Chain A
């Protein structure tokens, strides 16, 4: 009995992301981010605050978005501090609970570019590094008007360095949703 019920609940909450008009709307989101975990990276660097901006639109299934994030790591020891620019493409499935509240698990991939304050080696172009990054997150959003919403997000970044950079971020922000209109929809399509 439990299994069919689970399937029905999953179907009920996932139906909106399956039956939707692709690129019919556009969400603009901005959020403040903070790295909160501790691991070997944090033995050498102290995380500063960051910002992230995103554009999200309904896709053929789920939502698809692109994000641009910046944050900083200040040096704790004899290493250069660095600023990180993080560009990613994300896909998520929006699970609404009533009209105002929704949970959205997302996965994403992208590029994580680090610009170091000082290059200490003699090789050219060593002041920056770009690496592949994958991410997974859970976002909770609360609608506060017809177009505006507040949201909080917990996100895990895995930058594919050796050793891996495992970063947990918590963030909060505000978003605005608008209809794309014919021209913007045609461009997105």
Chain B
């Protein structure tokens, strides 16, 4: 199953020195992203959806968790303990997960099963950025302070037996953005120096017994959020809470999930208030009937979503009803097929979804087709709010040629081929047609000394096509040394300039090498080039102030190196990672800033008492 997905195991994450969930972007072959301050990343499968409209979906243990807030999804706001993650599947193509069609790709996180007995696992890490004045701050040669990243820490305590487990987790993180090359594009309220720009805290609980599973977690993020539509940063307290309950019984199973995201503006000198609360409840009943090797699953789902925003507490409520049927055909070693058809009634609009996948594990071919027309929105978008009068920070909006946003449709065809045992080759290509999608398109006047944008946002309907091709080759050169090379290219075409310009990132090539002489030591190196289209406003600003915009390459280069060593069997693992922290592509100037290094060290500790069990 799922030859199209890129699978990252817990071991992969540890060997790559992943400390934050957003760090998986370094390992994602088909995904690209941009960041204003190096913490919140706007990510998307390259060629699947545009950066300005994050249509990818997040699943934790098979349950859909929506993070959308102000048209962005930031992985680092998820309340989760990284040390408890067992596997992450990155689906750059449409995928069907528990009856939910993730048409814009999906990040699927699977938490580890708690080992039998008592178990304690945790990790802590921190890093230094280069470019700090150090002692020169006391002289006339010193510039502004550049501080650390982190400390980033999480831990989980679990107790488990054969058919039940209970687990509690805590997580905390701090982020400083003080480098002179990145400060001007975020620094209006943030004074830098020693104070953290972003403070994250989270706690959670999950448990299972007799086939019933519950998972609840919440995170608080004290943030100085840079919002491109307002062209400035605002101090906000963000809270993300989710609760999921499910039972996977075949005859009659159910899943219920609820998620709430709130952004509450703190006091600020510009008197901007953008309070917003988004809540979403999803309930689904499903039943599976086996027909020999084939099976059919019926599902009925109900979605309630509500957003409340602004000091006037404007409210936007949405109900969606959906019925689906999934037919699975074929034995494991032959051609297999899965087809899902769904009808939905969403805000009094009838829509449909068709997803069909045919694949052959031995030959390695995988074909996916989706037709999605007026399908359930169930996710209230930025454009939906804007049409109802939401104006964060009195941002300027213009509505251009806007048809009914809920009439949008998506048609896509993806084909993938995987070959080889030792040397593994993966090739995929896809074609996608999007009609009546709604996109916020920003016109920003860049200040040449700091990115205080004067932004006007057009809400436009965008229709067009995008073709995408990707390849990956995984070569074990020796038993201890493996190399992976990959590349992906997305080409949009449309009469609408708004559609084409949404793809800042059209090409990504990279490589990963790993030296792994035994199960205790590993050396992991990742090199990536992300191509970016030029952007006229950025070019003009760069021409006006070439010293500030030193990097005018149409792309960004990333180099990351991690050394990892394991002590005392499985108990203690130390890793050191060197990454360039600031050569990030940014939505407002895709080429990013000058390359700077970040050196991080991390320690992971695992303790277990009781019978050895699965983990």
Residues of A bordering B, CB below 8 Å: 40-41, 44-45, 60, 73, 79-80, 82, 89, 109, 111, 114, 116, 120-121, 123-126, 129-132, 159-163, 165, 187-189
Contacts and interface: CB of A to CB of B under 8 A. Distances in A.
B148 A130 contact: yes
Nearest to B130: A160
A124 B194 CA distance: 7
A130 B600 CA distance: 12
B194 A165 contact: no
Nearest to B141: A163
Given A123-B193, A132-B599, A189-B520, A165 B576 contact: no
Interface string B124-138: 000011111111111
A116 B128 contact: no
A38 B138 CA distance: 18
Given A160-B130, A189-B520, A114 B141 contact: no
B193 A132 contact: no
Given A123-B193, A160-B597, A79 B135 contact: yes
A160 to B, nearest CB: 4
B128 A132 contact: yes
Chain A interface, DSSP helix/strand/loop, else mixed: mixed
A131 B517 contact: no
Nearest to A43: B139
Contacts of A109: 576, 578, 599
Contacts of A80: 138
Nearest to B129: A132
B131 A161 contact: yes
A130 to B, nearest CB: 6
**Interface size class, chain B:** 20 to 34
A82 B135 contact: yes
A131 B194 contact: no
B134 A131 contact: yes
B133 to A, nearest CB: 6
A187 B134 contact: no
Interface string B379-410: 00000000000000000000000000000000
Given A79-B138, A109-B576, A125 B133 contact: no
A129 to B, nearest CB: 5
A110 B604 CA distance: 19
Contact of B133 (A79, A89, A161): A161
B278 to A, nearest CB: 35
Contacts of A73: 135
A165 B137 CA distance: 13
A161 B131 CA distance: 5
A129 B135 contact: yes
A161 to B, nearest CB: 3
Contact of A114 (B135, B521, B599): B135
A119 B576 CA distance: 31
B515 to A, nearest CB: 9
Given A123-B145, A132-B130, 5 more contacts: A60-B517, A109-B599, A160-B132, A163-B141, A165-B134
A70 B138 CA distance: 21
A162 B132 contact: yes
Interface string B509-522: 00000000100110
6 closest Cβ pairs, A-B complex: A161-B134, A160-B130, A79-B138, A132-B599, A123-B193, A132-B128
B101 to A, nearest CB: 46
B129 to A, nearest CB: 8
Contact of A41 (B128, B135, B195, B567): B135
A130 B145 CA distance: 11
Contact of B128 (A44, A114, A131): A131
Nearest to B515: A60
Nearest to B146: A162
Contact of A123 (B133, B142, B194): B194
A111 B194 CA distance: 18
